[in-house]
Chains A and B, each alone.
Chain A
Amino acid sequence: MKPTDVTDPQYYHKVVDCQWGCPAHTNVPEYIRLIAQGRYTEAYLLNRESNVFPGILGRTCDRPCEPACRRTRLDGEAVAICRLKRVAADLRDDVSEYLPRVPAVKNGKRIACVGSGPASLTVANDLIPLGYEVTIFEKQDRPGGLMWSNIPQFRLPPEVLNEEIDYILDMGVDLRLDTPVESMRRLLAGEMGEWDAIFVGSGAPRGKNLEIEGRYDSDRIHIGIDWLESVAFEHIDRIEPRVLVIGVGNTAMDCCRTAMRIGGRDVKVMARKSREYFKASPWELEDAEEELVEIVENHSPSRFVIEDGELVAMDFDIVDWYEGEGGRLRSQVMDTVRIPCDAVILAIGQETAFPWIERDLGIEFNEWDEPTVDRTTFQSTREGVFFGGDAAWGPENIIWAVEHGHQAAISIHNYCRGLPLDDRPPYGMNLVSQKMGLHEWSYSNDYDEAERQKMRHVHLRERMQTLAVEVEEGFDFEQTLQEAERCLNCDVQTHFTTNLCIECDACIDICPLNCLTITANGEEPELRTRLSAPALNLEQDLYVSEALPQTARVMVKDEDLCIHCGLCAERCPTAAWDMRKSDLLIPYAGLEAGEKRPTRARDLVGV
């Protein structure tokens, strides 16, 4: 293998599994250390830099960071990253002084955003401090998009939502509520104002339907996201006692739990497949079951049963799943069953819908009627029209919308300056030794065997009283400290300097996880078989040094299970191993290469 180039910021970035897994590349280990030190404001600001909505995401994020967390490979339980983020958001001081500064003199460029969800808000957040004037068109009477209409209050209190939206609106967004954009042609033609660029962040607002017998014979059959929106806007405040929710994604979880609070007594979630194939996050399933929702597997809906004009039941096929040819999952009907019910909520997915974009404007749509959007620049096939969030490629989650917003902002900034869109600012990295003394490091390097902290929930009876009671109480002080200690500080990298090594084996002997080997070089598949412990996780890289000075062998490190305890560096007599913190410098609109974001967050944090 060739020597590993650790000067490429992406090598050490990938070692930080959580940051690599986060679409917005939030610097998780750094903010967890800040939380452990009680520096909640700094932790919040560091979060905000990349994910913009720490308070909202600390409650609602789909947490791609947690399945990625190295601890899942060691003791099976990820660090509770998301809920630690919430601690920072809950306990922070006033941050208004540290938010991005807005210049008094504008740059003369005007941007229109369609929809006021997280993608558009992020575009505004990134561009307004650069002097742009941003107008957001929102069809509802409140900003926030699906964050407001589809996430129930018992998971996301309105104050938390509004506060973080207001940080951005207060920068000077021209927010036009109750103003649906009904024609892209008119928007482009200047009938709603003159724009230098347009960003479409209108989400994926159409819930999928279930076209089976009886679908249109009752008014008690609801589309999940529309129903949640009606509940959020208080158009609906009750539901019948026996409710079937069709589908088992996260929207289904929000539907069933909402139903339990407004009249549902016997709420069942009906899944076509078995549990291992459920789309809902495991923790959302757990929360629903804790609230006595029944989750029924392997039931495929076949028809609505209507008697005397009333919905009385649904018929299901009980199916068995098996792997057919080519590994495709196939089903076989074993039996049929009738399950009585008074209301049904369909939560089987959602899709984008652009009835307001005329198809002769040069904005191409594909065979599924989705816009053609460039994966890097987020530009559509018409110059100056950008897409992001769920509007780009269908439903994702908030953190993806935020990242889309950042990338679209970079593109828009380039576009408005006449620069090519693919001329994007590069990633940078700071790498600083964490050695404080002979055996002292700037971080808590010991491995903590503590189990993941359990989130405390409000008592069942109390939480069912109104929709507004937030279920999760958040971590208390002790839990926060314990959970923060579980973080392995994967950003404190084992950094190797080849020409200092005397090949004494001290690092290899001390490494608790058998990560290190000194051996003859070879091709990767073969080299992986010769290491101190089997290197079977091919998703994790091998670090390979240059030829060692005395024997011309190489130092190999399997990054898979390193707990960043620093013992290799402590036992190294020549400091060939050192523990260095890699700080990924993420490019944002308006930054030069390797430049830090011009907020005071980083000054506060000291990174």
Chain B
Amino acid sequence: MSWIAKPRVAHPGLPRNELGLTQRDYEGRMSTLCAGCGHDSVTAALIEAFYGLNYPPHRIVKLSGIGCSGKTPTYFLNQAHGFNGVHGRMPAVATGAAGANRTLTYVGISGDGDSLSIGLGQLAHAIRRNVDLLYVIENNGVYGLTKGQFSASADVGSTAKKGAANMQPPIDPVLLGLSLGVGFVARSFSGDKEQLVPLLQAGLRHRGFALVDVISPCVTFNDHEGSTKSYRYTREHLTEVADADFVEPKREIAVSYAPGESIDVEMHDGGILRLRKLAEGFDPTDRDRAYAHISERLHRGEVLTGLLHVDKGLREMHDVAGTVDVPLVEVPHGDLCPGSAALDALQESFR
């Protein structure tokens, strides 16, 4: 952390988006995470993503649980709504919030501890319900706030700072998501914003649950030799398999690839998600083959990144539940709470 706040003075030549805002307008408070934390880069990528999509900051809801990741929503979008939930319980809060107001944009920030240990059941059910939410896992393989114990995503053989090796097999959030039938799953690296920002934007535009696993090195406890989630190891072992480029609904598609090289997926808002396959035999729209491919490479020590699977055919929570189109706050009180006579009639219908 720093004693001084980031000065408000800004580059006079900063571009502005369609709302007339600069990227600085999407910032939050000063980070109190360790200097060099990958999470701060994810924060910066989120700022860039929201700015680039021209989202008004006050129409966004930031949610988190506990841990280093739980702190990060403070560091972006000062003007957004925020909820810092109990450890691992962010998905439940997000589900409730999204159920009550479907017109806001939801972004949940979690970590490997928050999502894969204490909150694993919560994550699984949010995926199953297909809550309309961008769910970012800032994955560093250790419990940073409690001084660097291995988390559930630590690889076998990866060592702690003092040299002890992890013996328990990891839970991979991408494979977990695929097995649960997630409609959008991607993996990226905090040190590669060129890839991360379009993935976050695509996830925000995806209607339904969008899981983005971001390798985000813990600079204090897990950035040494022997770590498999350090900056260096990640850079040396990641392979990008599918490049995503989000094309705004209003924008003409200017770039064209040779047939077979790219797949266009039309998003719910009319935008186009253009996937460019970088690996032979990899098809992000085929869930089973994607699973097999990722799993096989993972066993060989390769970290596949990019948009790994997308299926826009899934029905989102509101579609399944048949809820009203407007936020509950806009439903007249008489309709929301029709009185005891209506309740009696409902109960009678179940007898």
Interface set of A (CB-CB < 8 Å, partner B): 73-75, 439-440, 445-447, 449, 502-506, 508-510, 512-514, 533-534, 536, 550-551, 561, 563, 565, 567, 570-574
Contact = CB atoms under 8 A, between A and B. Distances in A.
Given A502-B36, A504-B219, A567 B11 contact: no
Nearest to B220: A573
B146 interface: no
Interface residues of B, number: 34
Contacts of A533: 11, 13-14
Given A534-B13, A536-B13, A550-B231, A506 B35 contact: yes
A445 B190 CA distance: 28
A567 B4 contact: yes
A565 B235 contact: no
Interface of B: 1-4, 6-14, 24, 31, 34-38, 40-41, 43-44, 190-191, 193, 217, 219-220, 223, 231-232, 235
A75 B219 CA distance: 36
Main secondary structure of the interface of B (DSSP, over half): loop
Contact of A565 (B4, B44, B190, B219): B4
A570 B6 CA distance: 11
Contacts of B193: 505
B190 to A, nearest CB: 7
Contacts of B36: 502, 504, 506, 571-574
Contacts of B35: 506, 570-573
Given A439-B1, A504-B41, A567-B6, 18 more contacts: A439-B2, A447-B9, A449-B8, A449-B9, A504-B231, A505-B40, A505-B191, A505-B193, A506-B35, A506-B36, A512-B9, A513-B9, A533-B14, A536-B13, A550-B231, A550-B235, A563-B9, A573-B35
A449 B9 CA distance: 8
A561 B220 CA distance: 31
A563 B12 CA distance: 13
Given A75-B9, A550-B232, A567-B6, A503 B191 contact: yes
Contacts of B2: 439, 567, 570-571
B189 to A, nearest CB: 11
Nearest to B23: A514
Contacts of A561: 11-12
Contacts, number: 97
B339 to A, nearest CB: 54
A440 B3 contact: yes
A551 B31 CA distance: 26
A508 B36 CA distance: 11
A505 B41 contact: yes
Contacts of A447: 7-9
Contacts of B44: 505, 508-509
Contacts of A73: 12
Nearest to A509: B44
29 contacts: A74-B9, A439-B3, A447-B7, A502-B231, A504-B217, A504-B231, A505-B40, A505-B44, A505-B191, A505-B193, A506-B35, A506-B41, A508-B44, A509-B40, A509-B43, A509-B44, A512-B7, A513-B11, A561-B11, A563-B9, A565-B4, A567-B4, A567-B6, A571-B2, A571-B35, A571-B36, A572-B35, A573-B35, A573-B223
Given A439-B1, A513-B11, A502 B232 contact: yes
A88 B35 CA distance: 39
Contact of A514 (B1, B14, B232): B14
B282 to A, nearest CB: 24
Contacts of B14: 514, 533
B42 to A, nearest CB: 10
A365 to B, nearest CB: 49
B275 to A, nearest CB: 24
B4 A502 contact: no
Given A446-B4, A550-B231, A574-B36, A505 B190 contact: yes
The list of the 8 closest CB pairs from A to B, nearest first, reads A573-B36, A447-B7, A509-B44, A533-B11, A446-B4, A439-B3, A504-B36, A505-B41
A551 B238 CA distance: 13
A107 B44 CA distance: 66
A64 B153 CA distance: 60
Nearest to B3: A439
A74 B34 CA distance: 30
A551 B3 contact: no
A8 B291 CA distance: 56
Contacts of B10: 512-514
A504 B40 CA distance: 9
A533 B16 CA distance: 12
Nearest to A549: B232
Given A505-B191, A514-B11, A567-B6, A573 B40 contact: no
A536 B1 CA distance: 32
A174 to B, nearest CB: 54
Nearest to A518: B191
Contacts of A563: 7, 9
A513 B6 CA distance: 10
B261 to A, nearest CB: 23
A488 to B, nearest CB: 10
